[in-house]
Structure 1
Amino acid sequence: MGTEFLKIKEADEAKEIIKNLFDELYPQKSINIPIEDSHDQVIFKDIDALMDLPPFNRSLMDGYAVKAEDTFGATDEAPKILKCIDSIEAGSFSEKTVKNRECIEISTGAPIPNGSDAIVMVEFTDRENENEKYDNIYILKSVAPNQDVALQGSDIKKDMLLLKEKTIISPDKIGVLAGQGIKEVEVFKKPKIGVISTGNELVMENESIEYGKIYDVNSYSIKNAAISNGAEGVSKGIVKDNYHELKTKIENSLKDSDIVVCSGGTSAGVGDVLRNVLEDIGEVILHGISVKPGKPTIIGKVGKKIVIGLPGNPVSALIIFYVFIIPNIRRIAGKPGESNAKVNVTLSKRIHSPKGRMHYSLVHIKEDLAYPIIKDSGAITSLAHADGYIKIPKNVELLDEGEKVTVTLFK
């Protein structure tokens, strides 16, 4: 076993198989979390307002609460004189009612007292006696009804739609929730992705490197690609090309992960054992996709969870993860759209593509031009320079300089 591919699937057919498997095994779920922990989470269902905002008529300025009619005709030369009967700070209120030719001193944010319907800004008033708390106030400018008053419910009415489902919670949205006194919010439960790198040649970044060894790349790129698209990503470390080690690592990872992603160990070669492991502890659903790069991709099922085998080459692994896996992760996590943003740009030079296979080619974007990155799929600098990738259909052998192409961005 493990010496040949199963029947290779075309890209579109493989996408459909993978999507159906995700839909079968991973229905969308929700979890309630404190709003202080909700940044970048996705709202699971519509949230309605619990109360009016503002919850009372409030002053927008420091000044005096008045009956607007008492100010009509007021000027610097002919001020209106009102008796100040009380003072209100923000957070307090007055039990007094404003009558004709009366006013109440008020601070920004304080509730408008009964009987008043407008605010005269303090800049347009004079006091008869600055040393007296309650004295005559000279009104130097007329105001209209409701001037500088935020009416109850003028921002949000109780029971109106506050935040729509699938809204990504940002700092301003957290402020909206807090303003309603909401302590917890129901959000999409993030799928937990366990990431395993396989290969005798791999070492961790904190280990010394010897001749013939390379540092692990895929654990970091795949984990963070999962995180940036709505999942929790957890690195499960490196495993040698050893059947028993890989089997144990996958079984242990499945205990606390919803999905396990392995990179390496997928080709039909002597040192590649992932297919054998999956056949023994579960089943192989798909092995081999007619794409470049990434042909030896494996999709397996163990119990009610998916195990994904990506190619070991970093470029191949990341492209396959973005094209075939991330749209499904985003759907589970409630993230809007199926993938990262796309831009339409012009190709700076021609690209030759292998006929008969869907081809995904890395590009760098500069000044609305897409520059192809022509390096092998193990070249780390390809990832450093790439802004995204373009898709070349299997029946296209050449994209010429100057053609318009659509780039799927990595960010």
Structure 2
Amino acid sequence: MNNQQTDCECDTTPQALLSIDEALELLLNSAKVTRSTQWLGLDDALNKILAVDIYADIFVPSFDNSAMDGYALNLKEEQINISGGTTFKITDRIPAGSTGNTLASGCAARLFTGAPIPKGANTVVMQEECELIEDESSIEIYRPIALNENIRPMGNDIQSGDVILSKGKQLQPQDIALVASVGVGKLEVFNKIKVGVFFTGNELIEPGKSLQQGQIFNSNRYALVALLNKLDCEVINLGNIKDTLGATCQALEKLKSSCNLIITTGGVSVGEEDHIKPAVEKLGQLNLWRIKMKPGKPLALGCIGDCAFIGLPGNPVSAMVTFLLFARPFIKKMQGASNYLNIPFKVAANFDWHRAKPRREFVRVRLERTITPMQVNQYPKQGSDVLSSMVWADGLVEIPEEKTFKQGEILNFYPLNEMML
């Protein structure tokens, strides 16, 4: 696959390397948020992205209720915070889901967690602090009692009119529970974006077939499709196509009308001979960026009609890392997500970095969780062909350009599990 430039201003002078921040800004500025939405029931809304703000039109709870099993009291003024035993006659029993009678002064009502506080009651005492007396017709309490103990007031959780979830939120189980608590039964969410993929290269064969001299198994196909599925994209996979300009143009034409985005891997480094670059330039626009990073460097961005195009590098680690750092936030923004950037946290390096490098490096590392602050160990082989390093690692640590350091240096760590959501 090939190198590309989006205004098609193909210059013969070498292109300056872009910083990661510059490239990401350019990429995200070109992302178009989908406008396609649908209504889904709550059982089907998990991991979908909200297309509108959700407002509460009720108070939660909608009535004052008990925070525990116990007794609601109509506490007289002279009974507040006095020491010694205080006696209350039990005049009512209120299970959850029912409404009690007005509670007279100096009386108690047996009630249970979530039950409405009856009129006249002004505090609740847990059952373990009450002693039943007089054939269980009364209770006695031997500690000082304050007003409004263990009462959850109306609107304690949510006020009517509150925005409880904002547009762009990717729905988690707790979000779905929250909207259910205000009586919302359906949600307007963004539809899945459609991402088309295909793969060229006479050297690529499918797993399960016999490997001949000079051939390699096409791992990038399965990595890319799996990554897109993790991001809840609808994948249109044309598989391996003939390595000709005509077949490449035909594949792009087929995908452009039905997809929001096309992604390919390979053939985007300067000077490579393949058909992706001329095919995209023939049908649309293309920009090739050389990014000041390792693994990676070549990245292509373009469009064919209204369909965006991203070309990732071909080495398996480079393809995965550039997908996570660039394609993922691009896709998340297209999906309508408000939080689309990769967010690192700080860790300490459990290794030295002796030689300053001209490119920012993303080193495959594994967390040592038993040490505070958490440390990371690097995989011994960091080549862009070493796919086993991505299986061993649980994250990428970011090493700035022209940097040397000793063990203990604090660095940015990007967890792989969070970069695949």
**TM-score category by the smaller chain?**
0.7 to 0.9
**Equivalent position amino acid for 1:98 in 2:** L
Which of these residues, 55, 62, 70, is aligned with residue 55 of structure 1?
62
**Equivalent position amino acid for 1:90 in 2:** A
- Whether the 8 Å CA contact 2:4–2:268 is kept in 1: the answer is no
- Whether the 8 Å CA contact 1:203–1:215 is kept in 2: the answer is yes
2-structure distance, mates of 1:149, 1:140? 18
Aligned to 2:140: 139
Taking a change above 3 Å as real, the CA distance of residues 15 and 129 of structure 1, as seen in their structure-2 partners, is closer
Which of these residues, 104, 108, 121, is aligned with residue 109 of structure 2?
104
Which of these residues, 149, 154, 157, is aligned with residue 155 of structure 1?
157
Pair 1:23-2:29 in alignment: yes
- Whether the 8 Å CA contact 1:348–1:371 is kept in 2: the answer is yes
Aligned to 2:371: none
**Equivalent position amino acid for 2:64 in 1:** N
- Whether the 8 Å CA contact 2:363–2:382 is kept in 1: the answer is no
Taking a change above 3 Å as real, the CA distance of residues 43 and 261 of structure 1, as seen in their structure-2 partners, is same
TM-score of the superposed pair, with normalisation by structure 2 = 0.77
Q: CA deviation at 1:344?
A: 4.7
Taking a change above 3 Å as real, the CA distance of residues 330 and 391 of structure 1, as seen in their structure-2 partners, is farther
Taking a change above 3 Å as real, the CA distance of residues 407 and 71 of structure 1, as seen in their structure-2 partners, is same
Which of these residues, 244, 247, 251, is aligned with residue 245 of structure 1?
247
- Whether the 8 Å CA contact 2:264–2:311 is kept in 1: the answer is yes
Pair 1:170-2:172 in alignment: yes
Taking a change above 3 Å as real, the CA distance of residues 334 and 208 of structure 1, as seen in their structure-2 partners, is same
- Whether the 8 Å CA contact 2:47–2:171 is kept in 1: the answer is yes
Taking a change above 3 Å as real, the CA distance of residues 47 and 21 of structure 1, as seen in their structure-2 partners, is same
Structure-to-structure mapping, 1:177-192, within 5 angstroms: 177-187=179-189, 190-192=192-194
Q: CA deviation at 1:351?
A: 5.9
Which of these residues, 178, 194, 197, is aligned with residue 196 of structure 2?
194
Which of these residues, 83, 89, 94, is aligned with residue 82 of structure 1?
89
2-structure distance, mates of 1:61, 1:290? 60
Q: CA deviation at 1:364?
A: 2.1
1-structure distance, mates of 2:310, 2:391? 24
**SS of structure 1 residue aligned to 2:263:** strand
Taking a change above 3 Å as real, the CA distance of residues 214 and 154 of structure 1, as seen in their structure-2 partners, is same
**Equivalent position amino acid for 2:33 in 1:** P
Q: CA deviation at 1:399?
A: 3.9
Taking a change above 3 Å as real, the CA distance of residues 389 and 195 of structure 1, as seen in their structure-2 partners, is farther
**SS of structure 2 residue aligned to 1:297:** strand
2-structure distance, mates of 1:67, 1:366? 57
1-structure distance, mates of 2:253, 2:341? 29
Pair 1:317-2:313 in alignment: no
**Equivalent position amino acid for 1:208 in 2:** K
**SS of structure 1 residue aligned to 2:320:** helix
**Equivalent position amino acid for 1:87 in 2:** R
Aligned to 1:209: 210
**SS of structure 2 residue aligned to 1:40:** coil
- Whether the 8 Å CA contact 1:49–1:162 is kept in 2: the answer is yes
Which structure's CA Rg is the greater one? 1
Aligned to 2:120: 115
CA RMSD of aligned residues (A): 3.8
- Comparing 159-168 and 103-112, the one that deviates more: 159-168
1-structure distance, mates of 2:216, 2:234? 22
2-structure distance, mates of 1:80, 1:354? 79
2-structure distance, mates of 1:102, 1:350? 74
1-structure distance, mates of 2:407, 2:127? 65
- Whether the 8 Å CA contact 1:9–1:290 is kept in 2: the answer is no
Aligned to 2:337: 334
Higher RCO (C-alpha under 8 Å, 6+ residues apart): 2
Aligned to 2:372: none
> Once the two structures are aligned, what percentage of the paired residues are identical?
24
Pair 1:93-2:99 in alignment: yes
- Whether the 8 Å CA contact 1:10–1:290 is kept in 2: the answer is no
Taking a change above 3 Å as real, the CA distance of residues 388 and 227 of structure 1, as seen in their structure-2 partners, is farther
- Whether the 8 Å CA contact 1:209–1:215 is kept in 2: the answer is no
**SS of structure 1 residue aligned to 2:254:** helix
- Whether the 8 Å CA contact 1:70–1:100 is kept in 2: the answer is no
Alpha-carbon displacement from aligned partner over 1:93-134 (angstroms, at most 9, x marks no partner): 13x32223544332221212222223344441426446xxxx
**Equivalent position amino acid for 1:12 in 2:** L
- Comparing 317-326 and 342-351, the one that deviates more: 342-351
Alpha-carbon displacement from aligned partner over 1:134-178 (angstroms, at most 9, x marks no partner): xx3233446433222222122222223423455443322222211
Q: CA deviation at 1:26?
A: 0.6
- Whether the 8 Å CA contact 2:268–2:288 is kept in 1: the answer is no
Which consecutive unaligned segments of at least 5 residues does structure 2 have?
A: 369-374
**Equivalent position amino acid for 1:379 in 2:** V
**Equivalent position amino acid for 1:343 in 2:** K
**SS of structure 1 residue aligned to 2:287:** strand
